[in-house]
Amino acid sequence: MIQETSSIKICIVGGHATPAIAVIDEIRKHREDWEIIFVGRMYALEGKEIVSEEYKLVRGRGIRFLPLTTGRLQRSLTATTIASLLKIPIGFVQAFGYLQQERPDIVLSFGGYVAVPVAIAAWILKIPVATHEQTRVAGLGNRMIALFAKRIFTSFPDMTRQFPIHKTVYTGLPLRGEIFESVPKPSYIPDGQRPILYITGGSTGSVTLNAIIFSVLYRVTNEFIVIHQTGGLSYQDGLTAKAKLPPSRRNRYIPVSYLGAKEYAWVLAHADIIIGRSGVNTVMEIAAFGKIAIYIPLPWSAEGEQDENARYAALHGSSVVLAQKGLTGQRLYQTIRDTYKRRNLISDQARRFARLVPRDAALEIVKQLIALV
């Protein structure tokens, strides 16, 4: 239970929307009188006006969304490097203005370059800051924010060693409660005896991963019903690939731009194999359901975090890890077949892994926030 407190105004910020939404929903469940504001990215990709999923999710919950324009420190020189660097001071000015105007009781960060100026501005204004590190390798943003934070939460117990011990707490990764709800089967998924293969490249999709999938669709749909979350950039390509399949197989391939929470809950509960990138939310949600996975880490993820996440799951025997470099459709198809043949053994290991995943991390974070204010 959450102890009784006076009403609190909380500012939530960061580029990792899924755990933020989990905490927002937990607050709403217990304390409807708390006021929540969200600072984040209006657009999902730098230089492209594709509205971010965090904006849609936050606004869909009736929460005020304050868009922040800021840049990031890039590890390589590209055409966008200078433009991105020039946005950094804009982000600080915006963040300071938002916090001066709103005067929240506490700022909760979920890392990333968007959260850095907000955390520093909060520290200057003497507003307590807490941050959550999702991954197995502390990102640059959270390493900076940790200098100003009064509390640092981690997804993994061994991650507490990467931050000052006196202010670091292992909570686990906040998982959205709605994905564990029992929901009806989406109408567009056909009935049948074939196993379900779910493919995801994260909320924005993966163009590279999608292209590999498209190359083996004919063979894969012979054995599986394929639900493919393509992201917005590849959705039309998915529809084109579907149209090229023989009529008898088209209903076995289901491309979707994005899965809502209820659809995602059903797919997670019923998928036989999941293929995806290995962002921490994807890995831990799959782990919590005790599912078999084939992970293809994003090669250029910050600090190699996706490789670390995938290896962590593989060490528990619940998944197979493939490198993107040199990956062909034939090799991926063979891995899918081999993994499915070994499904009984891998499923036993995946279920044991599921028992290690906390489901109450969001509640624990809310309790910690109350203690801070």
pLDDT at 24: 96
Q: Say what the pLDDT of residue 119 is.
A: 96
Tokens standing for residue 7? 């009403």
What average pLDDT score do residues 225-245 get? 95
* pLDDT at residue 88 in the model: 78
Q: Taking each helix axis as running N to C, give the angle between helix 53-60 and helix 17-30, from 0 to 180 degrees, rounded to the nearest 10.
A: 10
pLDDT at 97 over 90: yes
Do domains 9-175+358-372 and 180-354 share one topology? The answer is yes
Q: pTM of the predicted model, to two decimals?
A: 0.86
What's the pLDDT band for 154 if we cut at 50, 70, 90? very high
For 141-152, write each residue's pLDDT tens digit: 899 999 999 999
> Model confidence over 4-36: pLDDT tens digits?
667 899 999 977 888 999 999 999 998 889 999
| Amino acid identity for residue 306 in this structure | Q
Out of 140-149, 179-188, 285-294, the most confident range is 285-294
Mean pLDDT of 291-317: 91
The DSSP line for 307-367 is HHHHHHHHHTTSEEE--STT--HHHHHHHHHHHHHTHHHHHHHHHHHHTTS-S-HHHHHHH
Residue boundaries of the structural domains of the chain:
9-175+358-372, 180-354
Range in 40-54, 72-86, 338-352 with the lowest mean pLDDT:
72-86
Judged by average pLDDT, the poorest of 47-56, 148-157, 225-234 is: 47-56
Which two tokens mark 44?
Answer: 């999902």
Per residue in 115-134, pLDDT (tens digit) is 999 999 999 999 999 999 99
The string of pLDDT tens digits covering residues 98-117 is 999 999 999 999 988 889 99
Q: Which has the minimum average pLDDT: 69-83, 184-198, 199-213?
A: 69-83
Residue-level pLDDT at 72: 61
- Lookup result for tokens 């800051």: 129
DSSP annotation of 206? -
State yes or no: pLDDT of 334 exceeds 80.
Answer: yes
Q: Name the residue with tokens 């011990």.
A: 165
pLDDT at 255 over 60: yes
Instruction: With a cut of 80, say whether residue 78 has pLDDT above it.
Output: no
- Read off the pLDDT of each residue in 205-222 and give the average, rounded to a whole number: 95
- The CATH code for residues 180-354 is 3.40.50.2000
Q: Which CATH code is given to the segment(s) 9-175+358-372?
A: 3.40.50.2000
Q: What is the pLDDT of residue 44?
A: 63
The pLDDT mean for the chain works out to 91
Work out the pLDDT band at 136, boundaries 50, 70, 90.
confident
* Of residues 10, 21, 13, 38, the one with CA closest to residue 281: 21
Q: Which pLDDT value is given to residue 95?
A: 95
User: Which pLDDT score, from 0 to 100, does residue 160 have?
Assistant: 87
What pLDDT was estimated at residue 102?
97
The pLDDT of residue 124 is 97
Look at the block and give the residue holding tokens 């020039």: 86
